[in-house]
Structure 1
């Protein structure tokens, strides 16, 4: 005799939980809100996903999978290295300034909120940054080889400086949502390349 059939879709539950965690962060997210948004009762939620922590890890991975697809896709479009890097910065700025969706990058927020407290979240966030760094490094190495970008600094150093500017832009997009200010950050970042 088999058990009662599952009446929910794991992917839909993870997507719903991702929206809650993305809006509230981990600490401010209540089990009650997770239950309301996923449509599962507390017992079903914990039976299916084990804990709030495990559900958060799954939701964070889902967010990061989608984000890296978008970012790597932006970096692999036709055009010059600077065009690709500008497109990524512009995408981040536009995303953060979207009036219909005023919330920060979930990956960035999780790094600030949880990475120093939780080794599992730290590993997930490091793997994500490593993927983004690899995609950026490819663009930067190509730009250095073609002479479009300065080649007087090692590609790893240039890539990491760009990453710092990119994440700084994302934080400023939340704390200083002024398009002209942020556009200056974009232009300054690109001028340094």
Structure 2
């Protein structure tokens, strides 16, 4: 009979998410995962089987939280679309103080996607969800006259994703909030 777990798996995944977000997959050792989660090596491997599986769960958790929040914001019918898009860009300019710099998905895209098909698939599905939500919001804005009807919704959605991605990389590289806000303002002027 297996012993019952004496820890909260969700909290362990959240702690691992922050560790991986900060240092990446290759930069996070098993010992650092033990330190972050408060679990021993055997508990980590008995629960998650491998560092890779724990990483996949952590990345999926990040996507669930971040993409879910993005979609909720973009689908808010009580606010003008341009205001929703401005908030998306402002979120990249004003990252939460307790979060590691950059974006866990963007960091992973650069580090692992080229060599890990499973991770690349997770990221592709997440990016498609983000693009679909942005495109739908932009189409709503075009129909309401908030966004120039001559502008292609798919292209604008990709522009917003690329801008946010670039802002996350720029933030991780040390750019201050003034620079990030200026990028967000410039992007809004283009929409």
> Residues 99 and 4 of structure 1: is their aligned pair in 2 closer, same or farther, counting only changes over 3 Å?
closer
Secondary structure in 1 matching 2:112: helix
> Residues 38 and 181 of structure 1: is their aligned pair in 2 closer, same or farther, counting only changes over 3 Å?
closer
Distance in 1 between residues matched to 2:174 and 2:58, nearest whole Å: 27
Q: Which moved more, 1:74-83 or 1:116-125?
A: 74-83
TM-score scaled by length of structure 1: 0.91
Distance in 2 between residues matched to 1:36 and 1:161, nearest whole Å: 39
Residues 1:5 and 2:4 are matched in the alignment: yes
| Structure-2 residue corresponding to 1:151 | 149
RMSD: 1.6
Structure 1 unaligned runs (5+)?
A: none
Residues 1:133 and 2:131 are matched in the alignment: yes
The number of residue pairs the alignment matches comes to: 190
| Structure-1 residue corresponding to 2:183 | 185
| Structure-1 residue corresponding to 2:111 | 113
Distance in 2 between residues matched to 1:105 and 1:188, nearest whole Å: 21
> Residues 178 and 44 of structure 1: is their aligned pair in 2 closer, same or farther, counting only changes over 3 Å?
closer
8 Å CA contact retained: 2:92, 2:180: no
Where in structure 2 are the equivalents of 1:41-190 lying within 5 Å? 41-77=40-76, 78-95=78-95, 98-190=96-188
Q: Which moved more, 1:51-60 or 1:130-139?
A: 130-139
Structure 2 unaligned runs (5+)?
A: none
TM-score scaled by length of structure 2: 0.92
